[in-house]
Chains A and B, each alone.
Chain A
Amino acid sequence: MGKRFHRPPRIPSWVLRRFIPESDNTFLSGDFDEVYNNILEKRGRTAARRWYWIQLLCWIPLILWNSMRWSMTMFKNYLKITLRNLRRQKAYSLINIAGLSVGIACAMLIFLVVRYEFTYECFHENADRIFRINIEHTKLERNYSSRYSPVPLAPAMCEEIPEVTHFARIAELRQIQVAYGDRKFYEENVRFVDPGILEMFTFPLIAGDKNTALSDLHSIVITEEMAVKYFGKEDPLGKTLVLLNRMPLWVKGVIKNHPASTNIHPDFLVPLENLRALFDDNFFDNWVSQQLFSFVMLAEGASAAEAEAKIQHAFNRHVRQDDGRLLSLDRLNRMHLFSDTAPTGNIDSLVILLAVGGLILLIACINFMNLATARSAKRAREVGLRKVVGAAKRQLIRQFIGESLIYTAISMVLALFLVHVFLPVLNGLTGQSLVLSQIYQKCILASMAGIFLFVGFVSGCYPAFILSSVQPTTILRGTMETGKQGVLFRKILVVAQFAISIILIISTMIFGRQLNFLLSKNLGFKKDGIVVIRNDRSTSRQTLQPLKSELLSDSRVLGVAGSQMLPSSIGMYNTVTWEGALEGREISIMFNRVDYDFLKTFEIGLVAGRQFSPEFPGDMRAESGAGGMENSRSIIINEEAMRQFGWENPIGKKVIESYDEERTHYNVVGVIKDFHFNSLRESIRPLKLFCSTSNNRYISVKIPLKDLDETLKFIKRTWKRHYPDVPFDYFFLDRVFEQTYQAETSLKKLFHYFSGLAVFIGCLGLLGLASYAAERRSKEIGIRKVLGASSQQIVMLLSKDFSRWVLAANIFAWPAAYFAMRSWLGGYAYRINLNSQLVYFFLAGAAALSIALITVAFQSVKAALTDPVKCMKVE
């Protein structure tokens, strides 16, 4: 036997020591050391180490179980005491449990909201193998990513790359007229798709056969909802729907309605080949223009990164020259939040919400700690006695943590109740459709257990340590200064609590300001009083002139303009180069086709040059194949485009379409002021306007706001006369605009409620503390009153302390809120100047202070008004 002692590995032995009962510590760790040394000598260090770790892993559960078995008897006693206390101090328990349950309910609701956003597309069974191919343009002045890809891409990839097992392209065509007999509707969600879509995506068929439903060119698959809409109670299978007045399709399948948590929700699935009838032959072989979504499904276990590289490689072979387009794969179940290309969800606001939820929970915990420590004096005698009888500190800590776990459990039940009640309210705010049954899922239950343990331990640990360290002799002799423990700590907690509340109030206000700023910002065009009529694809090619002149003949109509897209949502772009550009320089530029009256109707100002006008026949854009001499046309650009082209004097300069093989030249005839044609989150991009009188998808009619109904009726009558087959489908432009900021609006509302609740919980805690302070000082108050203090003085005395804490909270809250808000505002290209909003910081502070004072005053006044005799008599 060797004589040297080998020390066991440090980490496991440290952990082990935490789990050895105190009294046996030396013997047991000695035993461990001995066996470790024995094994080390016989079988070497590795074996010994392994043995040590295994022992550790087996040790901990055994010891925990053992100690639990022993404490069962004590547990019964603890439970009895807890419930007795709960009953005896009703107000205190009520405040505690109310605060905790509101806090937990908030956290749970927020968790549900956030989780919901994460479940997008997850119902597709293959969601982790399906990818959308995105394309990033890297050769442009600024990089743009697009979710759309060329039509031949997906099938080519599926053929050439072994990892790609399935593909499905989805082409969106909006405003498609669908008819069954004389039931005609304009449908937003008609999608032209590859038949493979039913295989890849989880669209369960309730009628028809998955394998053949889309195999025939003239078939169509519809959702349950659409089946009811068009066919009522009739059997939809085999019925004929006519698309666009000329495309008869037989219903071959009915799929279930889509869940709400998806962004891919086609109502009608039509085989993609049908697009041959709508577009020219070039459509299916064009590798340049990006027309539709391409989804591919990889083989099980295939690496996305490798497939991505292969796809890029294959793509480069198909396009003639390297045009700097970079392909990337976007996984289906991450698309909603984490797509690099226009995610539909907003991960930032989810993070903010989660933070708010956490903070509210923290406030609730602080409440509990505060009240429990303040009340510790009441419990001190019990603790003293327990100690005398032989309770170890460890047991006392366990007792108090257990107590807070019981409180948390009660609050949890109440919180669940609150969640049930407020879930519909929340759905109204966020536009989500959470269902109650979703609460009871594994992950939610697990997180609830997490919240339970977190709240229980966090809020229980401080009072547990304070109370368990009471000296039994002082307490039993009665010489202990009751309620003195943790005064400083309590103050810090109250300050922290109010700091959080103030931060939330400030954030709410700044959110509101920013949102108002966005909604009321001068966009560069007039959106008020504009009624937009959607035109049918087929009739949009006709001239608008007869309708226009008849509408304008009425004095109530101030202007009529037709355009391909609305000024609030211009989404198309291509790349151009320009006169005087360095070789190979290109920028991407948004474009819109508008008629002569567009600028006038939206009141978009000119900086230089002129508007489009019928007096200049060259303005009109030739729609197809204008070769030879006449391929130069007029365009109007915005100031940003002018800046990027670097032109001093733009009129008469040339812009050249770089993807156009004929390299069509366009003459700049005018420059308009920049206007915001997208969300204000983005800055203004270059824009060019073509003149066209045969692209009238949207007809904007400017009308005065008075006599709205009459005017609308007049427009409708006129419309019906000119376009009897096209439904009068209209909306107000400013409404569309509000929808753009839906995310901000709902975030603002959520913030309103949750910061209100945070303040409420904070005040509950303050109420408890104030009543406790008043109670503790009741004798002092009595004496003061006897000696002639007025009620006001007493109220002042009691409120002074608390207001000092709340004021201190401001000092911490302001900088924190400032930096948080600055980084949030940083996400907006157009934003309010935070420094000019500092008054809101003061307002928030004042609000918190006054709410706190009202809460405290309530208690103080009660204390000040009590008859001094009553409180002095008590001994």
Chain B
Amino acid sequence: MTTTNYLTRKEELILLAVHKLGDSASLVRVLEVLYESTGREWTMGNVYVPLDRMTKLGYLKTRIGESTARRGGKAVRYYTLTRFGKESLSELKRIHDTMWNGITDPAPEN
């Protein structure tokens, strides 16, 4: 079964960010990672909706974490990859690697 068909590019990036963050993938941290790597401000909704969708599709699972004063005493929720999520991500990587194999960066050299 091809597992990655259903993910958009935005979702891929977010999935990758969750993976990168390991155990500390909260919405806010995902937002930060995305900002650092893409250089673009992501809105809350733009991250939450894919996270929610991927959770519902079984790529991610959630875990309730600690509550801090900074959050107004509200608990944080962490996202982690499920087994299915990990498989999909690795398949994605494989596809990407295969595609890139043997070609160079198309950006014009300066």
Contact = CB atoms under 8 A, between A and B. Distances in A.
A3 B72 contact: no
A875 interface: no
Given A31-B44, A35-B31, A35-B44, A63 B74 contact: no
A577 B31 CA distance: 85
Given A58-B46, A59-B45, A30 B74 contact: yes
B83 interface: no
B77 interface: yes
B95 interface: no
A538 interface: no
A217 B6 CA distance: 79
A5 B74 contact: no
Contact of A59 (B27, B43, B70): B43
Interface string B17-50: 0000000001110010000000000011110110
Contacts of B75: 26-27, 30
A55 interface: yes
Contacts of B72: 5, 7, 29-30, 33
A62 B49 contact: yes
A132 B75 CA distance: 68
B52 interface: yes
Nearest to B62: A27
A832 B76 CA distance: 73
B67 interface: yes
A535 B45 CA distance: 80
A21 B71 CA distance: 18
Nearest to A5: B69
Contact of B49 (A4, A7, A35, A66): A66
Interface size class of B (residues with CB under 8 A): 20 to 34
Interface string A60-91: 10110010000000000000000000000000
Nearest to B72: A33
A35 B31 CA distance: 9
A1 B74 CA distance: 18
A34 B45 contact: no
A30 B73 CA distance: 8
A33 B52 contact: no
Contacts of B67: 30
B53 interface: yes
A28 B48 contact: yes
A45 to B, nearest CB: 16
A30 B45 contact: no
Interface string B52-96: 110000000000100111111111110000000000000000000
A870 to B, nearest CB: 53
Given A27-B27, A58-B43, A62-B49, A37 B74 contact: no
29 contacts: A3-B69, A5-B71, A5-B72, A5-B73, A7-B72, A21-B52, A26-B74, A27-B76, A28-B44, A30-B67, A30-B72, A31-B48, A31-B71, A32-B44, A33-B71, A33-B72, A33-B74, A34-B68, A34-B71, A35-B31, A35-B44, A37-B70, A54-B43, A58-B43, A58-B46, A60-B45, A62-B48, A63-B45, A66-B52
B44 to A, nearest CB: 5
Contact of A30 (B48, B49, B76): B76
A408 B49 CA distance: 32
A648 interface: no
Nearest to A61: B45
B46 A27 contact: no
A96 to B, nearest CB: 37
Given A30-B67, A31-B27, A62 B46 contact: yes
Nearest to A31: B27
A24 interface: yes
A362 B27 CA distance: 46
Contact of A34 (B49, B52, B70): B70
A31 B72 CA distance: 10
B44 A27 contact: no
Contacts of A60: 45
A58 B71 contact: no
Contacts of B26: 31
Contacts of B46: 58, 62
Q: Residue among A31, A35, A55 with the most chain B CB within 10 A? A: A31
Contacts of A7: 72
A59 B43 CA distance: 8
Contacts of A59: 43-45, 48
Contacts of A26: 74-75
Q: Residue among A5, A28, A30, A59 with the most chain B CB within 10 A? A: A30
B74 A62 contact: no
Nearest to B76: A30
A54 B74 CA distance: 22
Contact of B70 (A24, A33, A63): A33
Given A21-B52, A32-B44, 8 more contacts: A5-B70, A5-B71, A30-B74, A30-B76, A33-B71, A38-B28, A62-B43, A62-B46
A54 B64 CA distance: 27
Contact of B45 (A3, A37, A58): A58
A444 to B, nearest CB: 35
A298 B67 CA distance: 66
Contacts of B73: 5
A24 B44 contact: no
Contacts of A54: 43
B36 to A, nearest CB: 14
A408 to B, nearest CB: 30
Nearest to A69: B53
A63 B49 CA distance: 7
Contacts of B28: 31, 34-35, 38
A21 B51 CA distance: 13
A62 B42 CA distance: 13
A57 to B, nearest CB: 9
A28 B27 contact: yes
A468 to B, nearest CB: 24
A690 B43 CA distance: 83
Contacts of B69: 3-5
Q: Residue among B31, B69, B70 with the most chain A CB within 10 A? A: B70
A3 B71 CA distance: 11
Contacts of A63: 45, 49
Q: Residue among B45, B53, B64 with the most chain A CB within 10 A? A: B45
Contacts of B64: 27
Closest 9 CB pairs of A and B: A30-B74, A62-B45, A27-B77, A30-B71, A59-B45, A58-B43, A31-B27, A33-B72, A34-B71
Interface string A14-53: 0000000100101111111111011000000000000000
A33 B69 CA distance: 10
Contact of A27 (B53, B68, B74): B74
Nearest to A70: B56
A251 to B, nearest CB: 67
Q: Residue among B26, B43, B44, B68 with the most chain A CB within 10 A? A: B44
